[in-house]
Amino acid sequence: MHRKARRGRRRAPKRSPVAVIAGALGELMLTAGVVVLLFVAYTLWGTGLQTAAAQNDLRNQFELQIDTEDEAEEVYDGLELGDAYGILRIERFGENWERIVVEGVEDEDLKNGPGRYPDNAHPGELGNFAIAAHRSGHGEPFAKFPELHEGDIIEIETAKGIYRYELDTAPNGHPDGNKIGIRDSWVVDPVPGEPRSTEPTEARLTLTTCWPRWGSSHRMYASGVLVDAEER
């Protein structure tokens, strides 16, 4: 009698250590790619939705400030970090571009909109009224910052009135224009470039943001002087 040959199970070919490592690296890269995409999606859309909701609440808060009978200085004095401060309008960023400015420039403040440096002058006052804002995420309020040009008008409305500043230093369309070190805080001093003890003789505005757009290794700034005021 002929015996039936036993069929043995085929063994999978043994993978080399190089192939095993390459496969593991491929899976890690795929996972990392998914994580990066999720992070970008959250940065662009997730934080933007949160900021949009916050801006609506802040607008309502600012309108209540306008309706109050308190003096503007009293409104200013009563502001806490994160409160609505005013409305910023920059035509260079779009015909109807405007954002509610909050009091404060910490991360918790800037996630809701552009923020005012608390220790600086108020609009119309001698000194330096300064605002910071994000270029990416949280609604990207200053995404077009490099497009600012000298001569552009920056308008800020507060409970006290409407103030317009004309830029005399700006990036002028250059992606690296007015790039400064991350610790160069002199741009928001009462008299930029002079000791903080120097008495200001003009009312100035300074805008600051991050450089590059998707990072924060440096800063960019634009600055101007008050050219018009309509007090309430």
Alpha helices in the chain (DSSP H): 17-41, 47-67, 72-77, 107-110
Instruction: Select which of 2, 122, 134, 218 is catalytic.
Output: 134
The yes-or-no answer on residue 134 being catalytic is yes
The yes-or-no answer on residue 149 being catalytic is no
Instruction: Select which of 2, 122, 149, 210 is catalytic.
Output: 210
- Strand 115-116 and strand 98-103: the pairing is parallel
CB 120 within 8 A of CB 188: yes
Could you tell me the two tokens for 151?
């001569």
The CA–CA distances, whole Å, from 174 to 37, 100, 130, 132, 148 equal 29, 27, 22, 19, 9
The residues carrying an active-site annotation are: 134, 210
